[in-house]
Amino acid sequence: MASNSYFLNVSKKFYLLKILYLWYNIYIRNFKHYFKTSHSNSQFGEEKFILKHFNKNFKGKFLDIGCFHPTRNNNTFKMYKKGWRGINIDLNPLSIDLFNVARPKDINICTAISDKKGVKKLYFLGDLDTKNTIEENHTKFLNKEFSINNNDIGIKKVKTKTLNYILEKYKYYKIDFMNIDIEGHELKALKNFNFNKFDIKIICVEIINHNKKSIIANKQLVKFLKIKGYILQDKVAVNYIFKKKA
């Protein structure tokens, strides 16, 4: 029978390997995103359009749903570097591990967001893949745009929470900027959100129209935000930026 010291040494090795892997994915693999202050950290440069709504020296609060990576193609990393702080949410545990290393001053939460607490199917492609989704219709976009067959998509079970629950838990009642990019599940995530209780100034949401069902859902989303008092300010690639009426 192996001694306790053997298992302790093995666990230490795995821990060190994990730390090295996390550092590689943050600092080595994404060197230009982390260190170049002039480089846009957003995928399409949308952070320029978002930050124009705030004073240059302003340090606010953000909420990033479907945050994926702390430095690469991220709409809140430049804010973090400017002194903003916020809540980052992603259903991928590895993503949250990366955030805990690169952005320890934020609140980093591993969960899926939906209209109610429960369990949903996760259509899974990898531990660090932007295309993981709990929206079944979005898998048709993966088939079409990335030539990913349904046989290549794994199915797991994942727990869901609501935004109301998370923001109440952390007493986040005033949010200057919310980013939401959860692969076609945006409308359902916001459906039962209490916009009266939680005040959000600017919202950036990913909208991809890839089939009839997604077009209908996205039209409903834009209409829904309009009813809640948000006006479309900018469209940058697939990202729509809304501002709450004064």
Hey, what are 191's tokens?
Answer: 């459906």
How large is the average pLDDT for residues 51-71?
Answer: 95
Element (H, E) at 223: helix 212-227
Q: Is the pLDDT of residue 184 over 80?
A: yes
Query: How confident is the model at residue 18, as a pLDDT?
Result: 66
Q: Is the pLDDT of residue 3 over 60?
A: no
Query: How confident is the model at residue 243, as a pLDDT?
Result: 98
Task: Kindly list the domain boundaries of the chain, sorted by start residue.
Answer: 4-244
* Band of residue 41 on the pLDDT scale cut at 50, 70, 90: confident
Query: How confident is the model at residue 10, as a pLDDT?
Result: 45
How large is the average pLDDT for residues 43-66?
Answer: 94
List the beta strands (DSSP E) in the chain.
61-65, 85-90, 107-110, 112-113, 118-124, 154-161, 174-180, 199-206, 230-236, 239-244
Q: CA separation (Å) from 100 to 19, 64, 71, 87, 111?
A: 11, 14, 12, 11, 15
Which of helix, strand or coil describes residue 38?
Answer: coil
Q: CA-CA distance, 87 to 62, in Å (whole number)?
A: 6
The pLDDT tens digits for 197-217 are 999 999 999 999 999 999 999
| Cβ atoms of 34 and 62 closer than 8 Å | no
DSSP letter for 147, please: -
How large is the average pLDDT for residues 76-101?
Answer: 94
The pLDDT tens digits for 160-173 are 999 999 999 999 99
Which of helix, strand or coil describes residue 101?
Answer: helix
In sequence order, which residues have a C-beta less than 8 Å from that of residue 12 and are 6 or more positions away?
none
Residue 117 carries which side chain, given as an amino acid letter?
K
Residue 166 carries which side chain, given as an amino acid letter?
I
Q: What percent of the chain has pLDDT over 90?
A: 76
| Cβ atoms of 206 and 238 closer than 8 Å | yes
Top CATH class of 4-244 equals alpha beta
Q: Is the pLDDT of residue 7 over 50?
A: no
74 vs 10, residue with greater confidence: 74
**Beta strands at 199-206 and 230-236: parallel, antiparallel or unpaired:** unpaired
Residue 227 carries which side chain, given as an amino acid letter?
I
Q: Is the pLDDT of residue 64 over 70?
A: yes
How large is the average pLDDT for residues 78-96?
Answer: 95
State the Cα angle at 38 between 36 and 41, rounded to 5°: 75
Query: How confident is the model at residue 127, as a pLDDT?
Result: 85
* Band of residue 237 on the pLDDT scale cut at 50, 70, 90: very high
Hey, what are 208's tokens?
Answer: 């991809």
Query: How confident is the model at residue 27, as a pLDDT?
Result: 60
32 vs 240, residue with greater confidence: 240
Average pLDDT, the chain: 89
